[in-house]
């Protein structure tokens, strides 16, 4: 029987809780790893992606606080690679332990991933990707005055956050390596935080660029490149909703790409939170009618896989 190949995108709540320390984040990932191990035990071949918005934002603050002529702050693409490596290591360690406890003979590998974008992407003139901690309006104004180049925007009613360019992924440099790892039964962690954004320079060489790629779009691109059967996008709610947090709120269960595009036109999904998840799911389902995407929460993952809970998206 053909094993199902799935790309599963972990939301930030699977990594970062109220404790931003390394130990706190490792503890959160140890819990998340158990849900992933359930799928692996059932025979799914997994590629796991994850966000890094809070982590890369916090690292940038640490870099700027220690910035000096002798110890210059690292640029954003390098900070993205650093957090991708750190979170990848934590998750790899947590999964190794979870699989060992279950006596499942599976190897896990974390891969720092270069994601190619266009230097002409309009996102570079319109920063929109929120990173770092949530601030009050007053705190955001204070921070913006300290650094004239920093832009803050309100993020889905949860507070104000720094925003940076978020270009769309064109291709993923390491996708053939990821396919090869899957063929050898290796659980692969890749495209963490959307991957490290790189562009082609005038000599057609790859070089890093300051941006943060949305991890859901990167996950969709990777799922397409490796021909995954299923794209699982995990977030903080069990379902996608229309009229969210209103008296007429309605959860979406089985929904077509056409229906979702109509809801997007109505402005149903917040740009900083649910919109990229829904848009990524639409792209994945549209590119191949045999495939589906599901958006749900980590806690609801088992019910989604076995009982059809969550929001399932198919071409139509």
Confidence (pLDDT) at 148: 64
pLDDT of 95-149, one tens digit each? 999 999 999 999 999 999 999 999 999 999 988 887 777 888 888 888 777 766 7
Q: For the chain, how many helices (H) and strands (E)?
A: 9, 17
Q: Which residues are catalytic?
A: 12-13, 129, 215, 277
Confidence (pLDDT) at 1: 46
pTM, rounded to two decimals: 0.89
Confidence (pLDDT) at 163: 85
Q: How far is CA 125 from the centre of its chain?
A: 22
Which residue's entry shows tokens 């109509």? 262
11: which residues sit within 8 A by CB, 6+ positions away? 51, 233, 234, 235, 236, 297, 298
Between strands 160-164 and 151-154, the pairing is antiparallel
In sequence order, the β-bridge partners of residue 22 are none
H/E segment holding residue 92: helix 76-101
Query: If you average pLDDT over every residue of the chain, what do you get?
Result: 91
Domain with CATH 3.40.1160.10 in the chain: 4-120+168-314
CATH class entry, domain 4-120+168-314: alpha beta
């Amino acid at each position: 029987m053909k094993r199902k190949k799935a790309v599963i995108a972990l939301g930030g709540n699977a990594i970062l809780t109220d404790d931003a320390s390394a130990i706190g984040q490792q503890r959160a990932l140890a819990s998340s790893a158990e849900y992933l191990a359930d799928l692996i035990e059932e025979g799914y071949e997994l590629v796991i992606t994850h966000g890094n918005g809070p982590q890369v934002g916090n690292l940038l603050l640490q870099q700027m606080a220690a910035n000096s002529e002798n110890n210059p702050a690292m640029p954003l693409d390098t900070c993205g690679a650093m957090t991708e490596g750190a979170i990848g290591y934590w998750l790899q360690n947590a999964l190794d332990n979870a699989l060992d406890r279950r006596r499942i003979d599976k190897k896990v590998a974390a891969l720092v991933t270069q994601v190619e974008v266009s230097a002409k992407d309009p996102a570079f003139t319109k920063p929109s990707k929120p990173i770092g901690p949530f601030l009050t309006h007053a705190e955001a104004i204070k921070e913006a005055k300290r650094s004239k180049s920093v832009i803050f925007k309100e993020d889905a009613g949860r507070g104000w956050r720094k925003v940076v360019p978020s270009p769309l992924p064109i291709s993923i440099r390491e996708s053939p390596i990821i396919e090869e790892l899957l063929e050898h039964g290796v659980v692969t962690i890749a495209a963490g935080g959307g991957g490290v954004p790189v562009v082609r320079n005038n000599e057609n060489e790859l070089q890093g660029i300051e941006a943060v790629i949305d991890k859901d779009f990167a996950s969709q691109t990777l799922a397409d490149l490796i021909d995954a059967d299923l794209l699982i996008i995990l977030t903080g709610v069990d379902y996608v909703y229309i009229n969210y947090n209103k008296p007429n709120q309605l959860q979406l269960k089985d929904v077509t790409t056409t229906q979702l595009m109509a809801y997007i036109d109505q402005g149903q999904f917040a740009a900083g939170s649910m919109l990229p998840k829904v848009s990524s799911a639409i792209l994945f389902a549209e590119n191949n009618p045999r495939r589906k995407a599901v958006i749900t929460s980590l806690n609801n993952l088992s019910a989604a896989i076995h009982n059809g809970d969550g929001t399932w998206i198919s071409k139509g």
